[in-house]
Structure formats: C-alpha cells, structure tokens
Amino acid sequence: MQATNQERIIDLTIHYTNGKQQHFQFSAPEGTVGEQATLGTRLHKMLTADPIILELADKLVVIPVHNIQSIEISPIPSKLPEGVLHPMREIKI
C-alpha cells in the first residue's frame, strides 16, 4: 500500500488464540490535531467492537473478539485513545 504525502501507513497485526496471526495495513492522515483525534477515535472504536470488522478491497473480514489474544499497531499514533498507559517498555523474561 502506497501512502500519499498527507498519509502514513499503519500496520495492524492480530494474534489469535490458536497461535496464528494476520497482518493488515491502512492509511491514516498525518497533520492536524483533528485528524489525529479521528484516528485515535477510529482505533478505540475498532478495539472495543465485538466482532471487529475490517473492510478490505474485495471483502469484509469479521473477527470475533474471543478469538484474539492481542493486537499490535505500529507505528504508534500520535493521538492515543483514552486509558492508554504510556510510555512503556517491554521486558523479555
């Protein structure tokens, strides 16, 4: 996926309880505070939905939340949803 000058690519990785994972990308606007707030709101709505529904070019993907172990979003959006603990470091044990 190519991003324009006013967009950046966000990577979304879903880790399932069965050990599999799926990778997705979407473009997000760069720039104004309002656009960043919209991205934060979109992410919050997606993460609190059950099921999570993703629109691809040729189909909808419906993912029941009970099948999800974790979700990774990279790079970190500049405007985060309320309740996010930050900044954090992952410690490998």
Q: Which residue has the higher pLDDT, 87 or 54?
A: 54
CA distances from 12 to 19, 32, 58, 76, 83 (A): 16, 22, 18, 11, 19
pTM, to two decimals: 0.74
Instruction: Return the structure tokens found at 42.
Output: 């979109």
Q: What type of residue is 75?
A: P
| 7-74: CATH class | mainly beta
* Domains of the chain, residue spans: 7-74
Are 77 and 10 contacting, i.e. CB atoms less than 8 angstroms apart?
yes
Q: What angle do CA 12, 14, 18 make, to 5 degrees?
A: 165
**pLDDT for residue 44 is more than 90:** no
Q: Using one digit for the tens of pLDDT, what is the confidence trace for 45-62?
A: 887 889 999 999 999 999
